[in-house]
Amino acid sequence: MKADFAAAAATYDEAAVLARETGRRLAERLDVVKIAPRRVADFGCATGDGVRELQRRYPEAMPIAVDFARPMLMEVKSRAPLWQRLRGKSPRLVNADMRTLPLTPGSIDLAWSNLVLHWLDDPLPAFGELHRVLAVDGLLTFAMLGPDTLKELRASGATALRRFADMHDIGDMLVAAGFADPVMDMDMITLSYATPRRFLADQRQLGVRDGLLGRAPWRDWRRVFANWQRGADGRLPATFEIVFGHAWKAEPKVAADGRAVIRFSK
């Protein structure tokens, strides 16, 4: 999918309605979190809505934008205002895969990831890397697609659609990666389309069409689209299950050499 994401950099924003909405809801969840981060990072930043939100909320923090598609990072760079560039306040750009981050352990205080982790066949290694680069008491906040995504197409006979982990499995992955007390919740967001072609165009512009829909023959998709039931408004509903999560990096209980860590306080 890397090539698809890279090719979509110029068209991504036009179709990124869902990502903007989940980003807004992800940001709202930070309203109740008391944190004063020194470094904030948007992992899988696309064109940079997330890192710009973090800059607005935490103007004193160093902003970092991470993406494996270099053209997306160039979009982030081009949108940084001149005053940010002159004052050294524009996002630092990191071209990297979330599963192998070239970041120092404990260097990030707040990690944000919006609609990215579900594209990994196994998100656990990425959660492990995010835990590694977070400082103790650092926060991970993210949104992922859940298993009821595009349930209308599944009900219409689509068998090649990508399968997504459910909320409980994601929580288990966070614990396995070392995070403490993950908090998970879920929303349903329904978009609607005039035609299947418009739906397909959006997914292509986002760079996720093949990753989301798979590679079933077109004759199979014609049958699925013929069975896709229109809503009362005459449009085609497309529901996306959004799994939101946040988790903290706690003080380690075991040292790197395997010894137990015991702390005494007065």
Three-state DSSP at 247 gives strand
Side-chain-side CA neighbours of residue 140 (13 Å): 35
Helix (H) or strand (E) holding 204: helix 196-206
So what's the pLDDT on residue 7? 79
Could you tell me if residue 54 is left (phi over 0), alpha (psi between -120 and 50 degrees) or otherwise beta? alpha
Classify residue 52 as left (phi > 0), alpha (psi -120 to 50) or beta: alpha
- Domain spanning 2-146+165-187+240-248, CATH class: alpha beta
Is 79:71 a contact under the CB 8 Å cutoff? Answer: no
Question: Tokens 């934008």, residue?
Answer: 65
Enumerate residues 6+ apart whose C-beta is below 8 A from 247.
139, 140, 174, 179, 180, 181, 182, 183
User: Which of 18, 8, 51 lies closest to 145, judged by CA?
Assistant: 18
φ and ψ at residue 16, rounded to 5 degrees? -85, 45
pLDDT in tens, 75-113: 999 999 998 888 889 999 999 999 999 999 999 999 999
State residue 32's pLDDT score.
Answer: 92
Please give the DSSP secondary-structure letter assigned to residue 30: G
Q: Give 32-73 pLDDT, tens digit per residue.
A: 999 999 999 999 999 999 999 999 999 999 999 999 999 999
Domain limits of the chain?
2-146+165-187+240-248
Give the three-class secondary structure for 163. coil
